[in-house]
Structure 1
Amino acid sequence: MDSNATCPPPMKATSEGVFQGNNPLDYALPLVIVQICLVLVLTRVLAYLLKPLRQPRVIAEIIGGVLLGPSALGRNTDYLQTIFPKKSLPVLDTLANIGLLFFLFLVGLELDLTSLRRTGKKALSIAVAGISLPFILGICVSFILRATVSKGVNPGPFIVFMGVAMSITAFPVLARILAELKLLTTDVGKMAMSAAAVNDVAAWVLLALAVALSGSGRSPFVALWVFLCGSAFIFLCSFAIPPIFKWMSQRCPEGEPVDEVYVCATLGTVLAAGFVTDAIGIHALFGAFVVGVLIPKDGPFAAALVEKVEDLVSGLFLPLYFVSSGLKTNVASIQGVESWCLLGLIICAACLGKIAGTVVVSLWCNVPFSEALALGLLMNTKGLVELIVLNIGKDRGVLNDQTFAILVLMALVTTFITTPSVIAVYKPAKKPAKSEYKHRTVYRKGFSTGQFRMFFTFHGIRNLPTMINLIEASRGTGKKETLSVHAMHLMELTERSSAILMVHKARRNGSPFWKKNPNAGSDQIVVAFEAFKHLSKVSIRPTTAISAVSSMHEDICDEAETKKATMIILLFHKHPRLDGHLETTRAEYRHVNRKVLEHAPCSVSILVDRGFGGSSHVSASNVDSLVTVLFFGGHDDHEALAYGARMAEHPGINLVVVRLLLDQNVANSDSVSVEINEPPTDDDVIAEFKEKLLKSNTNKYVERTVKNASEAIEVIRDHTRCNLILVGRMPEGELVASMRKRSECPEMGPIGNLLISPELHVTASVLVVQQYHTQLSVHSLASLKEDGTSTDQGEYESN
């Protein structure tokens, strides 16, 4: 050894700045910041690019880590020594493992032991087959690898690591894929979730065994001591942790913030458990996972813990683990035909073991072949858990560089093919309607009052007061048997653990739309609905749909048809600011609204919420609202008028119907009239309305004849001093045709756009109504396809 050789000095935490001659990348903190930012940007860009392929985010993160390592960008030594120098790796690995520690805690929180205990024999058999056959094939493959690219490895740990690597099913990734494909509540989804949960627990037990065997202890009894101590740790935790955390959960009422002391105590427990399992010799991750599994999932405490931890861990620390793993993955180490043939062999063995084992046992359990094949493909999902197993094996010296790279690519390929292959082989049959579905519109001849099924959608508690006040106004005569209300809380499916907690609720209730247990603690939404039920005797059935924004409209339309809804009420994608102007809540909701308007099985309305009825629920006896219907003509206006007529039956609602007619003296005789001639005509509908509802002094009918669009706008302006305005989405007639100009939101129709434009200064809430038709008109469809972004800068023209 050269006596003059010196070890590089340890990195200091912070620099004194570039003006002092320091390079920030020579110091730990600035370098870690650059590393985090680099991986965040790369993985998010890759996730966006892979989104059309419906791939889970873990695919983008694994690929991003590999690209940053020696397989791609790391081939440039200057880049590698500048961004990921060897002296920075201990800091990087420490932060990555802290993130991983808390992520495994979240994974444990996602696993519901109660559901695990209820696992049926069928799912249990599938889980056992999904572990056993791949494990056996993994052992067989390990002998081939030891004879080729993994010569000289310790045979015991290597065999177990290969078996575990082949038999793992990534439960968190599987849950997100099932929710993305809307298979959660199918028989396939339920069995896959149950089997994957059993598989996950078994895999961690086997991994603990593999880690215990891979220790460098001098005596063979060391591995036995490690395994026994690990078992004793789990045994003690299973008695100590649940009662303590149940006590904490009971002291955290629903709707109130969780005490900081309890959160700190929990995080401290996670770290302490990690220290104990690391001291035992089975890796700190196991302690965190065990604590997460044993924490009771009922009540708000578990959800609050997830909310506190998930964004920081998943968004900031966990990406570093993918970099850490990617720096160890060198695809270039897979050299020669033999190595690439081994990669193909391992991928085939992994797929064959999972798919064949699952399919055979599923068929034995009388599962149809298409469902059995879908189950096999779903159980073949790998992910972060697989990466954790491989990294532990690499760190313990069980896997060399070439074997590690081969197994990382195997995990990537098997996870990547899951979604497209399941889509290709399995199409769940749509449940047929139980009986004939007749009342798809509010309008019925003669304005007769019949069964009215409202189907509300909402994204949070912001719009609850208006929603409840609109339901109150829609009660009509107060005969509760004529009004049925379903309210769907739309939740976006994300990579967050909180979304998976919602998935568990969906799974437990056997429906993609879960109902709160009345005996359990209720959230604010359910409390509001229960209070309204006691006051008005109208029952609101709250449900929740969890799906990606791109497919949220499918949940809405499918459930509306299942519930035989008369009208779906959507919320406008903008909300009012304090100055009265509208600002975008989320642009993605506009896409949802457009798709529902196009595919809805019944009438649809979009509510522009400006506080109808005030900021709280108004009791029936105190309702005093003025509702205006702007009537130009056409089917959508018929529907708006019918809904207004139903509201007018409420004693606290005053209805004003304003019909705008174009002066025939100035009508363009050369223009093509688009007025409807098939029954019922506009005159027929108005006559029916007058006969039915003008007997009451609280209802008024006004006819105004105008010469052009400017006069029509002035008439509309005169009648906007009310609480709610009802308009048809696509009115018909020459007058409306002259008002159909460029608009910011074409899906709202010409009058709807006028009422939300800042020029008119409308303070009333607006309900834009579309009547159901088996096929929308060409013009109506065109308005849903038109790109509103190109017209955002265009002002509404009135001449």
Structure 2
Amino acid sequence: MLDYILVVTITHIVRFLFKPLRQPKVVSQIIGGVIVGPSVLKRSTWFKHYITSDGAQFLSRNLGVMGFIFFVFIYGVKMDPALIKKTGKMHLYVALVGISIPTIAVFGVALLLRKTMDKDIATNSSIGIIAAYLGITAFPVLYNVLKEFNLLNSDIGRMALAMAIIGDVLGVFTVVAFEAGKQGETGPENALWYMVSLVVIIGFVLFCVRPIMEWINDNISEGFPVDKSYVVAILLGALVMGFITDFFGLAIANGPLWLGLVIPDGPRLGATIVQKSETIMTDLLIPFSYIMVGSYTDVFAIAGVDWSNLAPLFTMVLTGYFTKFVSTWIAALYWQIPFRDGLTLSLIMSLRGQIDVILFVHMMDKGILKVPGFTLLVLMTTALTATCTPLISILYDPTRPYMVSQRRNIQHNPSNKDLTIVLCIFDTPSINGLIRLLDISNASLYNPLSVYALRIIELVGRSNPLFIDHVNQELPHIYRWTNTINTLKHFQELREFVRFQFFTSVSPKKSMFQDICLLSLEQDASLIILPFNKGGVHNHAIRTVNLQVLDHAPCSVAIFVDKGLLPSTNIGNSHRQYNTKHKFAMLFLGGADAREALVYADRMVANPEVSLTVIRFFSHNYLGDNEEEKKLDDEIVTSFWVKNELNNGVVYKEVVVRNGEETIAGIQAMNDGSYDLWIVGRKQGINPIFITGLSEWSENEELGLIGDFVSSPDFYGSASVLVVQQQMLRA
């Protein structure tokens, strides 16, 4: 137990120290295991005597094996083998080039150096498994690093994962071939027994276990948890499968992997299995796995052997790393992937991690590697990954494509062009408010709306993010939102100048904003509409996404705080009730965001149902004004007033204030609780005098100081709030 506490503590310390160097977690885990092992602490006789007894080591190694069993099992659950069918031609060719060339190169080098090798490595099966390991990049390794660095939803991240799945398929066949060859070295009957065992176990998993898992998944009612007995039985089944495959000589990791692959991924069963077991694996068992790795790793053992014994292995590994990087890069350039992106892809495909370490342990058990060779591979693996990850961070910024120099906002949207909106839907209850907001956006013959409705779902129980265009791709049944789509289509039928197109994004919380920004970029959107909800873990995640979108969006953004906007609007009625007036208020505090909000409000007031009060704030004696911003503000306000001077539904007022307290007082003075919607700019260009002393009141950064105030429960009335941020030009 002291080993466990030590390795966890050391791992966290190393991770903290290496954080500025952008190192992944796996590097600190391996280093933590090595420090606890004979390379550092176990060289002390006191430590060996008092801290690590034989019984503790036996328990630690068994728990370490269990950690690796659950690691491959969980990634088996998360993986979707059907994605191989959807792999593009470019992904396939780049992957095959990146696998075959290093494998052939390493095999050729090994044959040249065969006479100087250790006899256990010099066999054909041993050379083959080492060559194949150097050619293949494992999917779980990439997934962990890409998720950690928030690259899963990036173009390069998706490409790397697609290529890694191809590599994993080839990797499974390689391990099977290696095991068969190893068995065949002792006699052909052993190889035959191995193949028979393999066919029987795979048949059992496919034709017995898989139907059971599908039956369990299909019988889980929507919104109800999975029966705990099923979860416990499946987790025990992972251990049993590991024992069975190890007993039959099929490698202990194969059984749990195959079991994981036949469990339906995504929501319901797959998600539950991952949620229930991932914490146990990462926090409890995996540290023991790295203690086991560290116990095999002894840097002093390298010094104790003749370097000529390790030189062939070192040369093979170096050849594999170099040819893997170069061949992937050249293949990427051939397919016209940009130079910088191709370089990043090559570095990602060079990453090594947990699966490689598991393979090293397996080769130790098979007698192929001894402690010096094992230590060499662990050190080279750690060094390679530690070198590649900072370079990836330097070379590739996933938000770079969203940095555009063209104006994509409402203010500069041509009058004869559709206003293109990306409507983000995190949960179906928010849809009624969003529809009402679209309705008052006043689509017309000369100002139609093109709305790209994006349903955003958290990625759980699977590893591959999805981005689905409903026109070109079929949405998996577990992610369907048919009722919401039908509601939006019905609204489209009633409002002839509104056109919808539907998309679904399934991605981790940290990467959701990337799909929103990417869709906005590709569809040349002028506005992203985001819902806002207060309280709860789910809503905290939405707020995080909203902040990320505000920081990186390639167009303007509006955050809608829905408190029951326009409850009298009858969405199901094709005839609007023109005798109904809805009162809107627009707070104009100056700056780009306020100008964008005013243009949006101007669009709304063209609807006869809407009355609008615009309140413009001035500072006393024009203190704190930015002359350039004020000039732009004057132009937009004058243009608005000239356009609406004869509109009896528009009221314009001016308020002079000296500080934030007077700003709040001015807003409260005009609030009689009769307004249905408050419209306000977020923060860009606001005169700091208007908000002096208000920062300590703010709870929700994404709404800005004024938006947060008018949306707070303490603000009188039940009006909804629309906070607008104009596109920030970043290029």
The TM-score normalised by the length of structure 1 is 0.73
CA offsets, 1:465-511, max 9 Å, x none?
Answer: 57625634544257798223335566789xxx746232xx24xx5xx
Identity of aligned residues (%): 28
Q: Residue 80 of structure 2 aligns to which amino acid in structure 1?
A: D
Residue number in structure 1 paired with 2:505? 544
Residue number in structure 2 paired with 1:90? 58
The answer to whether structure 1 residue 381 and structure 2 residue 351 are counterparts is: yes
Among residues 501, 517, 541, which one is paired with 2:464 in the alignment? 501
Q: Which shifted more, 92-101 or 109-118?
A: 109-118
Residue number in structure 2 paired with 1:687? 641
Q: Residue 678 of structure 2: SS of its match in structure 1?
A: strand
Q: Residue 402 of structure 1 aligns to which amino acid in structure 2?
A: P
Residue number in structure 2 paired with 1:534? 490
CA positional deviation for 1:393? 1.4
Q: Which shifted more, 192-201 or 535-544?
A: 535-544
CA offsets, 1:267-312, max 9 Å, x none?
Answer: 3543443332122122332111112223444774434433333333
Residue number in structure 2 paired with 1:113? 81
Q: Residue 770 of structure 1 aligns to which amino acid in structure 2?
A: Q
CA positional deviation for 1:195? 3.9
Distance in 1 (alpha carbons) for counterparts of 2:7 and 2:569: 48
CA positional deviation for 1:533? 3.4
Q: Residue 677 of structure 1: SS of its match in structure 2?
A: helix
Evaluate the alpha carbon distance shift between residue 77 and residue 254 of structure 1 in structure 2; reply closer, same or farther with a 3 A threshold: farther
Distance in 1 (alpha carbons) for counterparts of 2:237 and 2:568: 42
Distance in 2 (alpha carbons) for counterparts of 1:772 and 1:367: 29
Residue number in structure 1 paired with 2:689? 737
Residue number in structure 2 paired with 1:560? 520
Distance in 2 (alpha carbons) for counterparts of 1:603 and 1:404: 55
Q: Which shifted more, 416-425 or 555-564?
A: 416-425
Q: Residue 645 of structure 2: SS of its match in structure 1?
A: helix
The answer to whether structure 1 residue 656 and structure 2 residue 656 are counterparts is: no
Among residues 179, 186, 199, which one is paired with 1:231 in the alignment? 199
Distance in 2 (alpha carbons) for counterparts of 1:547 and 1:449: 38
- Residue pair 1:378, 1:418 contacting (<8 A) in 2 also: yes
The answer to whether structure 1 residue 274 and structure 2 residue 242 are counterparts is: yes
Among residues 284, 295, 318, which one is paired with 1:348 in the alignment? 318
- Residue pair 1:110, 1:172 contacting (<8 A) in 2 also: no
Evaluate the alpha carbon distance shift between residue 527 and residue 463 of structure 1 in structure 2; reply closer, same or farther with a 3 A threshold: closer
Q: Residue 282 of structure 1 aligns to which amino acid in structure 2?
A: L
Residue number in structure 1 paired with 2:678? 725
Residue number in structure 2 paired with 1:785? none
Distance in 1 (alpha carbons) for counterparts of 2:4 and 2:436: 48
- Residue pair 2:658, 2:690 contacting (<8 A) in 1 also: no
The answer to whether structure 1 residue 592 and structure 2 residue 545 are counterparts is: no
Residue number in structure 2 paired with 1:485? 451
Q: Residue 369 of structure 2: SS of its match in structure 1?
A: coil
Distance in 2 (alpha carbons) for counterparts of 1:587 and 1:145: 59
Distance in 2 (alpha carbons) for counterparts of 1:672 and 1:239: 75
- Residue pair 1:270, 1:288 contacting (<8 A) in 2 also: yes
Among residues 389, 393, 405, which one is paired with 2:375 in the alignment? 405
- Residue pair 1:378, 1:422 contacting (<8 A) in 2 also: yes
- Residue pair 2:413, 2:526 contacting (<8 A) in 1 also: no
Evaluate the alpha carbon distance shift between residue 557 and residue 201 of structure 1 in structure 2; reply closer, same or farther with a 3 A threshold: closer
Evaluate the alpha carbon distance shift between residue 154 and residue 561 of structure 1 in structure 2; reply closer, same or farther with a 3 A threshold: closer
Q: Residue 668 of structure 1: SS of its match in structure 2?
A: helix
Distance in 2 (alpha carbons) for counterparts of 1:617 and 1:261: 49
- Residue pair 2:452, 2:503 contacting (<8 A) in 1 also: yes
CA positional deviation for 1:333? 1.9
- Residue pair 2:586, 2:614 contacting (<8 A) in 1 also: yes
The answer to whether structure 1 residue 414 and structure 2 residue 367 are counterparts is: no
Residue number in structure 2 paired with 1:302? 270
- Residue pair 1:628, 1:719 contacting (<8 A) in 2 also: no
CA offsets, 1:749-794, max 9 Å, x none?
Answer: 5534654689867865443323346589xxxxxxxxxxxxxxxxxx
Residue number in structure 2 paired with 1:768? 723
CA positional deviation for 1:151? 6.2
Among residues 596, 601, 606, which one is paired with 1:639 in the alignment? 596
CA positional deviation for 1:742? 6.0
Q: Residue 311 of structure 1: SS of its match in structure 2?
A: helix
Where do residues 116-265 of structure 1 align in structure 2 (5 Å cutoff)?
116-117=84-85, 119=87, 123-124=91-92, 126-139=94-107, 150=118, 155=123, 158-175=126-143, 180=149, 186=155, 192-211=160-179, 221-252=189-220, 254-260=222-228, 262-265=230-233
CA positional deviation for 1:322? 1.7
Distance in 1 (alpha carbons) for counterparts of 2:597 and 2:133: 61
Residue number in structure 2 paired with 1:677? 631
Q: Residue 477 of structure 2: SS of its match in structure 1?
A: coil
Q: Residue 352 of structure 2: SS of its match in structure 1?
A: coil
The answer to whether structure 1 residue 455 and structure 2 residue 455 are counterparts is: no
Residue number in structure 2 paired with 1:575? 534
The TM-score normalised by the length of structure 2 is 0.79
Uncovered stretches (5+) of structure 2, i.e. residues with no partner: none
Evaluate the alpha carbon distance shift between residue 115 and residue 592 of structure 1 in structure 2; reply closer, same or farther with a 3 A threshold: closer
Evaluate the alpha carbon distance shift between residue 653 and residue 72 of structure 1 in structure 2; reply closer, same or farther with a 3 A threshold: farther
Distance in 2 (alpha carbons) for counterparts of 1:470 and 1:540: 18
Distance in 2 (alpha carbons) for counterparts of 1:135 and 1:334: 26
Distance in 2 (alpha carbons) for counterparts of 1:367 and 1:751: 45
CA positional deviation for 1:407? 0.9
Q: Residue 500 of structure 1: SS of its match in structure 2?
A: coil
Count of aligned pairs: 711
Q: Residue 631 of structure 2: SS of its match in structure 1?
A: coil
- Residue pair 1:452, 1:484 contacting (<8 A) in 2 also: yes
Relative CO higher for 1 or 2, CA cutoff 8 Å, sep ≥ 6?
A: 2
Q: Residue 450 of structure 2: SS of its match in structure 1?
A: strand
Evaluate the alpha carbon distance shift between residue 625 and residue 389 of structure 1 in structure 2; reply closer, same or farther with a 3 A threshold: farther
Uncovered stretches (5+) of structure 1, i.e. residues with no partner: 1-30, 777-799
Q: CA RMSD in A?
A: 4.9
Q: Which shifted more, 748-757 or 311-320?
A: 748-757
Evaluate the alpha carbon distance shift between residue 591 and residue 233 of structure 1 in structure 2; reply closer, same or farther with a 3 A threshold: same
CA positional deviation for 1:415? 2.8
Distance in 2 (alpha carbons) for counterparts of 1:205 and 1:724: 62
Evaluate the alpha carbon distance shift between residue 258 and residue 145 of structure 1 in structure 2; reply closer, same or farther with a 3 A threshold: farther
Q: Residue 534 of structure 2: SS of its match in structure 1?
A: strand
Distance in 1 (alpha carbons) for counterparts of 2:279 and 2:633: 57
CA positional deviation for 1:87? 1.3
Evaluate the alpha carbon distance shift between residue 651 and residue 413 of structure 1 in structure 2; reply closer, same or farther with a 3 A threshold: farther
CA offsets, 1:330-373, max 9 Å, x none?
Answer: 12222178378667534422213423555677788898887776
- Residue pair 1:173, 1:383 contacting (<8 A) in 2 also: yes
- Residue pair 2:160, 2:348 contacting (<8 A) in 1 also: yes
CA positional deviation for 1:684? 0.9
Q: Residue 611 of structure 1: SS of its match in structure 2?
A: coil
CA positional deviation for 1:404? 0.4
Distance in 2 (alpha carbons) for counterparts of 1:372 and 1:577: 41
Q: Residue 302 of structure 1: SS of its match in structure 2?
A: helix
Residue number in structure 1 paired with 2:665? 714
Where do residues 327-366 of structure 1 align in structure 2 (5 Å cutoff)?
327-335=295-303, 338=307, 345-356=315-326, 358=328
